[in-house]
Amino acid sequence: QKEVEQNSGPLSVPEGAIASLNCTYSDRVSQSFFWYRQYSGKSPELIMSIYSNGDKEDGRFTAQLNKASQYVSLLIRDSQPSDSATYLCAVENYGGSQGNLIFGKGTKLSVKP
Amino acid sequence: GAGVSQTPSNKVTEKGKYVELRCDPISGHTALYWYRQSLGQGPEFLIYFQGTGAADDSGLPNDRFFAVRPEGSVSTLKIQRTERGDSAVYLCASSPNGPRYGYTFGSGTRLTVV
């Protein structure tokens, strides 16, 4: 059973701080990794994708990937109250039809003004 | 369309009834996915279509669940003899061709079986 593990939180950070969200995955051959943001009562929204080891930056967001450790993280710099949401880590299912993403349960982030 | 459209947004049905949930993907997207999400959980994969065919239906929980995409565009998820445990948000997503670059979700259908 392929798994994606996340700390459910809640993770609470003060406004302006760096929020660090972590994810581990079980399938060693996975190649594509994603972070989705989900506001309460809304559907998931893709915010970052990463495919190679190292860092990928997009505005205040940085995704980090370490395939050897099977570890993906998301850093949010200068956190804002509007960043308060559940962050879902997703990993491409590289077996079978190679057609779907496996999601973690998500980490709930709360940014306090 | 501009985004993935799902109807209805909410559905309340009695235990044992049949329901259909509809998904209209982004125009031109060949890949379409159905997931369901229970409270406090991540989306759980149900089925993936590439064009008109179901490329992977390994996530369908049992034979009460069935999905079609007859013309390679709109898809319908069908649930027979609904049970209270089927209550969840059913999410549809589409992508240009497979999951490699992620996909876009619709706003979901909240199904409540009473």
* A103: its two tokens: 């999601």
pLDDT at residue B1 in the model: 55
* A46: its two tokens: 């893709």
User: What percentage of residues in chain A have a pLDDT greater than 70?
Assistant: 95
Query: CA torsion angle for B4, B7, B8, B11 (degrees, to 10)?
Result: -80
| Strands of the sheet with A4-6, listed across from one edge | A4-6, A19-25, A71-76, A61-66, A54-58
Q: Are B70 and A62 in contact (CB under 8 A)?
A: no
Question: Rounded distance, CA B30 to CA A67, Å?
Answer: 29
Q: How large is the average pLDDT for residues B65-81?
A: 97
Element housing B46 (H / E): strand B44-50
Q: Is A7 on the interface with B (CB under 8 A)?
A: no
Q: How large is the average pLDDT for residues B17-40?
A: 96
Q: Are B106 and A43 an interchain contact pair (Cβ–Cβ within 8 Å)?
A: yes
- Picking from A5, A32, A37, A43 by the largest number of B CB atoms within 10 A of its own CB, the best residue to mutate is A43
Cα A36 to Cα A22, A45, B14, B37, B60, distances in angstroms: 13, 5, 33, 14, 23
* A35: its two tokens: 């972070």
pLDDT at residue B100 in the model: 81
Q: Is A105 on the interface with B (CB under 8 A)?
A: yes
B45 confidence band (pLDDT: 50, 70, 90): very high
Q: How large is the average pLDDT for residues A77-90?
A: 98
Q: How large is the average pLDDT for residues A5-29?
A: 94
A98 confidence band (pLDDT: 50, 70, 90): low
Bigger pLDDT: A31 or B23? B23
What does DSSP assign to residue A18? Answer: P
Q: How large is the average pLDDT for residues B34-56?
A: 94
pLDDT at residue A93 in the model: 83
Statement: residue A96 has pLDDT above 70: no
pLDDT at residue B99 in the model: 78
Average pLDDT, chain A: 93
pLDDT at residue A95 in the model: 64
B105 confidence band (pLDDT: 50, 70, 90): very high
Q: Are A105 and B50 an interchain contact pair (Cβ–Cβ within 8 Å)?
A: no
pLDDT at residue B2 in the model: 81
**Å between A70 CA and nearest CA of chain B:** 18
**Å between B34 CA and nearest CA of chain A:** 10
Statement: residue A62 has pLDDT above 60: yes
Task: Give the residue among B78, B58, B81, B59 at the shortest CA–CA distance from B68.
Answer: B78
Statement: residue B42 has pLDDT above 80: yes
Q: Are B109 and B8 in contact (CB under 8 A)?
A: yes
Question: Rounded distance, CA B78 to CA A80, Å?
Answer: 41
B11 confidence band (pLDDT: 50, 70, 90): very high
Cα A68 to Cα A6, A21, A57, A112, B73, distances in angstroms: 18, 18, 20, 35, 39
